[in-house]
């Protein structure tokens, strides 16, 4: 894989994470890809969002069938756009 292909892959991964972080905007990914293809995202100006796992708790008194009351959720931190 060439250096340019690695850069392009990183830009697309950033756009995918950004779109996943902003689920309320159905056009976030398309907008990010348009900006990448038109050259707006260059020289360090990229779309980014870092996925992390976070544990969430059910309401008090509620439990899953296995007796636990927590579950993992993917959340996005450090959301950036150019």
Q: What pLDDT score was predicted for residue 42?
A: 78
Q: What pLDDT score was predicted for residue 44?
A: 79
Q: What pLDDT score was predicted for residue 4?
A: 85
CA distance 41 to 54: 30
Going by C-alpha positions, the residue among 77, 79, 78, 81 that lies closest to residue 33 is 81
State the total domains in the chain: 1
pLDDT in single tens digits along all 82 residues of the chain: 898 888 889 999 999 999 999 989 999 999 999 999 998 887 778 999 999 999 999 999 999 999 999 999 999 999 998 8
Q: What pLDDT score was predicted for residue 67?
A: 92
Residue numbers of the domain that contains 32: 3-80
């Amino acid at each position: 894989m060439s250096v340019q292909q690695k850069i392009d892959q990183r830009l697309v991964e950033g756009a995918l994470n950004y779109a996943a972080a902003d689920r309320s905007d159905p056009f976030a990914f398309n907008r990010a890809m348009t900006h990448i293809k038109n050259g707006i995202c260059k020289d360090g100006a990229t779309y980014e969002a870092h996925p992390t796992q976070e544990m969430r708790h059910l309401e008090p008194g509620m439990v899953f069938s296995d007796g636990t009351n927590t579950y993992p959720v993917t959340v996005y931190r450090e959301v950036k756009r150019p």
